[in-house]
A and B are shown apart, each in its own frame.
Chain A
Amino acid sequence: METAEEITKEAAVIETVSEEKVKYTVETEGLTVSFKGREAINDINIKIRANTVTSIIGPSGCGKSTFLRSLNFMHDLTPGAKVKGTIKIHNKNIDEYDMTEVRRRVGMVFQKPNPFPTMNIYDNVVAGIIMNKGKKRNELNEIVEQSLELAGLWEEVKDRLKVSAMALSGGQQQRLCIARTLAVNPEIILFDEPTSALDPISTSKIEETLFHLKNKYTIVIVTHNMQQAARVSDYTAYFFLGKLIEYARTRTIFTSPREKLTEDYVTGRFG
């Protein structure tokens, strides 16, 4: 209950800021992604506000993940994928950055926990830093503690940092993946259905984490779970058949959506 109230308060605060002063972290214009000629998302125009949680909802196959993955060049690996339109991060076109730099600044947490199986917990957290640029040992220790603390895992693993990451439970592995992403100090973190493979307790822990992360990071989360979207996000975007149908404050989307399609979906009439 408390969280819901806080979200409302937060949203109210953002509302009072006039539109010109709002800081946008990510903006897309006419973003279209196609796989082997088939369009997965079409003409997406969205502006994501800094230091907010924006959730992306919609039925399976609507292009939620496709949209998310285009924000950090993840389609680059997929053969036959084509990305058109512009994506801006901090008012700068994404193509002007180096690809690895974009990925460093736009972190991603995936649906299934995917820690590096050959590494222990400590090495998993520092993997991104070490392989980007070398850091001093004592600095690393500090980063590991901070990242794990922020991901809500520190208390559970602080005595066994040298244990294989595979020894952790699924929920712990996912929080380890969050810590690993935080360690490279991104500005934006993309979550692609981060809790859909987890039990309710792990889910609530991760949602709690999301809430704390908002102060420092801009968060975009794709979720299948509408309650989750309502619980954690300030803004919600509804995708349907590759189109952005509606994008507004979460409260608006769930209580008085503008579009009929959105209403049908959030009230559970289909999807």
Chain B
Amino acid sequence: MEDYYLKVSKGHTDRRKLKSRLMIILCYVAAAMAILPLLYIFFYTTMQGASSLNIDFFTELPKPVGESGGGMANAILGTLILVALGSVIGIPVGIFAGIYITEYSKSIFANVIKFVTDVLSGIPSIIIGIFAYGLIVIPMKSFSAYAGGFALGVLMIPTITRITEEMLKLVPHSLREAALALGIPRWKTTLRIVLRTAQSGIITGVLLAIARAAGETAPLLFTSFGNSFWSTSLDSPMASIPVQIFNYAISPYDEWHSKAWAGAFVLISLVFVVSLIVRLATRNKFSQTA
């Protein structure tokens, strides 16, 4: 009798072990499929782009066709300005909308916002560009950094809202109760206890949104447009790395193609470095998510 059970259970466990191993292998394959394209893009861009990268690229203005040399300095600065403008709009609106949804979600209005955010995150970025064009470019009668920054900001809102919402939901309810039971007012509980506990996750989400905005081309095409010269005035057209890459890449000149690769490499590195810095800065402080 005992032997019988032993045999059955052995065959059974063997099959389970096999299944378990198979599943683990599938997980590895899926992980590899997710990471490989990223690594491939990174290395290919580095190979193509790094060779045409030099100091001039960061300090010089673009040169006309036929002249060698020149750089993308104005586009690099332009991207930084546009992303900063977008952040000024997107980060506060996104975070506060996320707070509203999770902390004050008794009303139907919160559900409406949630739904609208979902729809907004599914809207193609070029549509957001058109929206900014209609809202800002046409009345101002000029392409401008304002319009570009606004488009990027709108683009960032749904990502930040959703991440904020998800992160705040992870904060245990007992923490809010603990704070309220001490007689701490609701708004202070939200800002100084709940938000602080969810801080690292929200920062990561904001970063993702910034990284995405930095690489967007479509919403900038007819908002900030592009500029071959230095421009720091916000009410005139402004160069940006993605648009510059786009313009160079569709041109017929080899010289410009290599410039486009260099631009792509700079863009990726920018996103990479920013992510790394924030990761390192927030690594140890909030490792314990209760």
Which residue of chain B has the shortest Cβ distance to A183 in the bound complex?
A: B182
Q: State whether A128 touches B184 (Cβ < 8 A).
A: yes
For B179, list chain A residues within 8 Å (CB): 116, 127, 131
CA distance A132 to B188 in the complex (A): 9
Taking a contact as CB atoms under 8 Å apart, the answer to whether B174 and A114 are in contact is: yes
Cβ of A220 within 8 Å of any chain B Cβ, yes or no, is: no
Chain B interface residue count, CB cutoff 8 Å, equals 26
B288 touches A112 (CB 8 A): no
Asked if A252 is at the interface of the complex by the 8 Å CB criterion, the answer is no
Question: Closest 10 A-B residue pairs measured CB to CB?
Answer: A104-B183, A128-B182, A108-B181, A103-B183, A114-B174, A131-B184, A114-B178, A117-B290, A100-B183, A166-B288
Interface residues of A in 77-126 (CB under 8 A from B): 77, 79, 100-105, 107-108, 110, 112, 114-118
Q: Is there a chain B Cβ closer than 8 Å to A228's Cβ?
A: no
| A contact residues, range | 20 to 34
Q: Kindly report which residue of chain A lies nearest to residue B289, judged by CB atoms.
A: A117
B118 at interface by CB-CB < 8 Å:
no
Chain B interface main SS type: helix
Binding site for A on B (CB under 8 A): 106, 172-185, 188, 192-193, 196-197, 199, 285-286, 288-290
Indicate if the CB atoms of B177 and A77 lie closer than 8 Å.
yes
Q: Contacts A114-B172, A118-B197: A132 and B184 contacting too (C-beta < 8 A)?
A: yes
Contact status B181-A107, CB under 8 Å: yes
User: A104 — nearest CB in chain B belongs to which residue?
Assistant: B183
- CB-based nearest A residue for B106: A79
| Residue in chain B with minimal CB distance to A127 | B182
**A102 to B174 alpha-carbon distance, docked (Å):** 19
Is A64 among interface residues, defined by CB-CB distance under 8 A? no
A103 and B181 contact, Cβ closer than 8 Å, known pairs A116-B197, A118-B196: yes
How many angstroms from the CA of A132 to the CA of B181 in the assembled complex?
12
With an 8 A cutoff between CB atoms, is A164 at the interface? yes
Could you tell me if A117 and B177 are in contact, using CB atoms closer than 8 angstroms? no
Are A74 and B181 in contact, CB atoms less than 8 angstroms apart?
yes
What is the bound-complex CA distance between A102 and B184, given in angstroms? 11
Contacts of A180 in B (CB 8 A): 178, 182
Q: Which of A116, A166, A184 has the most CB of B within 10 A?
A: A116
Give bound CA distance, A173 to B177, whole Å: 16
User: Inside 8 A of A144's CB, which chain B residues have their CB?
Assistant: none
A177 is an interface residue with CB less than 8 A from chain B: yes
